[in-house]
Amino acid sequence: MPNPKRRHSKRRKNSRRAHDFLSKPAMATCPDTSMAVLPHRVSPHTGKYKGREVIEVEES
């Protein structure tokens, strides 16, 4: 296995790591409850997708 001959500088290391951050997922709002949901997914609160009921949700 080849090993590095010289040590990488702090600038080179930090420049490489500048793009390793995590981004927040995009969120949409549910038209019925106005709560945040992931886009293109069934709303876990109402069980609806694109205005029609897809799954049954128990009310508590």
Phi, psi dihedrals of residue 13, rounded to the nearest 5°: -65, -45
Paired with 53 in beta bridges are: 48
Q: Are 36 and 29 in contact (CB under 8 A)?
A: yes
CA distance 30 to 1: 53
Per-residue pLDDT of the chain (60 residues; tens, 9 = 90+): 899 999 999 999 999 999 988 898 899 998 888 999 999 999 988 899 988 998 988 876
CA distance 37 to 4: 46
Q: Is the pTM of this model over 0.85?
A: no
* 12: its two tokens: 């080179």
Domain ranges of the chain: 24-55
